[in-house]
């Protein structure tokens, strides 16, 4: 294990030496992006199962309140805990409080999104900046060669310069996909939270109503 870490450190140092300080900065950005992604995945893992909360809300709307409380389980997620508290003391006065707490939860889920978005935007730009600097150096070396121009000098400088653009894109593309998925998860959680508040604080709707109950729409989505 120690030998593998040593070899990895040497490979990273050689890679940074080849691409220059821009590659080093891009690798630091990739470490930051990885840490943010792991943090967000852990945070979403704590939300618990959406299916249990949807089932509880359907039971609550059907008037089966003891079964609704039991379906949340012994360790509900953040939204499930809010639902359990509201089910323990149902009241129309809880609507504003629940909306406030669910919005606070959504804000915590969205924390770090701007940093990930900044990494997505700046990584390709930094890669392009490194490429421009590398091209300048390559043409300077070509000019210094004078009449004895060696095409390999220019070709070598160009591929090293393009390396920074490749690294920037390699960082931005997966982070962009992960950020899109996280934003979709937050949007789904917000819809579920709104349905939860309306189900617990509003009047029950008939199951056969043409206009589906918010929870039923989520269940069939």
Per-residue pLDDT of 145-188, as tens digits, reads 666 666 666 666 677 778 888 889 999 999 999 999 999 999 99
Q: Kindly state the tokens that stand for 79.
A: 């939204």
Whether 9 is in a domain gets the answer no
Domain of 155?
20-219
Phi, psi of 205 (to 5 degrees): -100, 145
Whether 25 is in a domain gets the answer yes
Asked if 87 contacts 60 with a C-beta cutoff of 8 angstroms, the reply is: yes
Look at the chain and report how many structural domains it folds into. Answer: 1
Q: What local confidence, expressed as pLDDT, does residue 210 receive?
A: 34
Whether 97 is in a domain gets the answer yes
Q: CA–CA distance from 57 to each of 19, 141, 164 (Å)?
A: 55, 70, 51
Whether 79 is in a domain gets the answer yes
Q: What local confidence, expressed as pLDDT, does residue 157 receive?
A: 66
Q: What is the mean pLDDT of residues 188-212?
A: 72
Is the pLDDT at 217 greater than 60? The verdict is no
Residue 212's pLDDT band (cuts 50, 70, 90): very low
Q: What is the mean pLDDT of residues 112-135?
A: 90
Q: What local confidence, expressed as pLDDT, does residue 37 receive?
A: 94
Whether 12 is in a domain gets the answer no
Q: What would the pLDDT profile of 128-157 be if each residue is shown by its tens digit?
A: 888 888 787 777 777 766 666 666 666 666
Whether 15 is in a domain gets the answer no
Nearest to 78 by CA among 40, 56, 45: 45
């Amino acid at each position: 294990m120690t030998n593998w870490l040593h070899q990895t450190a040497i490979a990273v140092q050689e890679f940074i030496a080849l691409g220059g300080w821009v590659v080093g900065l891009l690798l630091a950005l990739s470490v930051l992006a990885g840490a943010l992604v792991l943090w967000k995945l852990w945070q979403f893992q704590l939300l618990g199962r959406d299916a249990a909360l949807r089932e509880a809300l359907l039971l609550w709307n059907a008037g089966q309140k003891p079964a609704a409380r039991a379906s949340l389980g012994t360790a509900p997620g953040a939204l499930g805990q809010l639902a359990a508290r509201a089910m323990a003391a149902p009241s129309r006065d809880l609507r504003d409080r629940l909306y406030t707490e669910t919005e606070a939860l959504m804000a915590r889920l969205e924390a770090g999104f701007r940093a990930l978005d900044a990494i997505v935007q700046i990584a390709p730009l930094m890669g392009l900046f490194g490429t421009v600097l590398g091209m300048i150096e390559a043409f300077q070396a070509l000019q210094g060669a004078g009449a004895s121009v060696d095409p390999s000098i220019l070709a070598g400088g160009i591929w090293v310069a393009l390396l920074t653009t490749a690294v920037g894109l390699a960082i931005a593309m997966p982070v962009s996909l992960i950020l899109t998925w996280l934003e979709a998860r937050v949007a789904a959680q917000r819809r579920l939270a709104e349905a939860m508040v309306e189900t617990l604080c509003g009047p029950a709707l008939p199951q056969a109503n043409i206009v589906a109950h918010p929870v039923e729409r989520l269940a069939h989505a």
